[in-house]
């Protein structure tokens, strides 16, 4: 099975795609004459699209810190989407409130899948996050005396002469 097929069969990705499709359907129901709602619909679409993209990004590699960084972004955009969708019910010009209920229900299901997905991340495959935000629980920081700059500046600067024009 290819990486793409694995991604497309992942329950959290399937749910994210469904939410994206629901948001796209919802966009067609928003009246064109309401400037605020029109701005909101594009934000909702962007949020739903970014969620799908970040799941793919997290699945593209297996490094714990990268997966957690993507998960953090997914959480943020899912929360924005839930708030934006919920706000539609407070606008008199939006009448299709059953979509609000449906999409918020799907986001709640997505949240449960998200928790399960994040718990499945391989905590042993990590690179120390110097910002210490996305290190796995119990990770031990490297000895600062062992630090090596990942760039070999001698190789990088080979052939470079600042006096050359």
- The domain that holds 57 is classified in CATH as 1.20.1440.60
Would 145 be classed as within a structural domain?
A: no
Residue 75 lies in a domain: yes
| Cα 41 to Cα 137: distance, rounded to the nearest angstrom | 38
Question: What is d(CA 12, CA 18) in angstroms, rounded to the nearest whole number?
Answer: 10
Per-residue pLDDT of the chain (165 residues; tens, 9 = 90+): 888 899 999 999 999 999 999 999 999 988 888 888 889 999 999 999 999 999 999 998 789 999 999 999 999 999 999 999 999 988 888 888 898 999 999 999 999 999 999 999 999 998 888 888 999 999 988 887 776 666 666 766 676 676 765
Q: How many Å apart are CA 145 and CA 147, to the nearest integer?
A: 6
Say which residue the tokens 């994040």 belong to.
Answer: 118
Number of domains in the chain: 1
pTM > 0.85: no
Q: Which domain holds residue 9?
A: 3-119
């Amino acid at each position: 099975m290819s990486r793409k097929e694995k991604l497309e069969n992942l329950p959290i990705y399937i749910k994210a795609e469904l939410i994206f499709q629901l948001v796209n359907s919802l966009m067609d129901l928003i009246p064109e004459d309401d400037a605020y709602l029109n701005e909101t619909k594009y934000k909702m679409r962007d949020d739903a699209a970014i969620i799908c993209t970040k799941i793919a990004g997290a699945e593209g590699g297996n490094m714990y810190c990268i997966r957690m960084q993507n998960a953090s972004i997914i959480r943020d955009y899912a929360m924005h989407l839930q708030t934006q969708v919920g706000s539609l019910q407070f606008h008199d010009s939006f009448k299709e409130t059953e979509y609000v209920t449906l999409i918020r229900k799907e986001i709640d299901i997505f949240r449960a899948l998200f928790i399960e997905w994040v718990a499945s991340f391989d905590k042993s495959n990590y690179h120390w996050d110097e910002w210490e935000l996305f290190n796995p629980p119990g990770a031990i920081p490297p000895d600062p005396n062992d630090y090596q700059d990942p760039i070999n500046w001698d190789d990088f600067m080979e052939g470079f002469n600042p006096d050359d024009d």
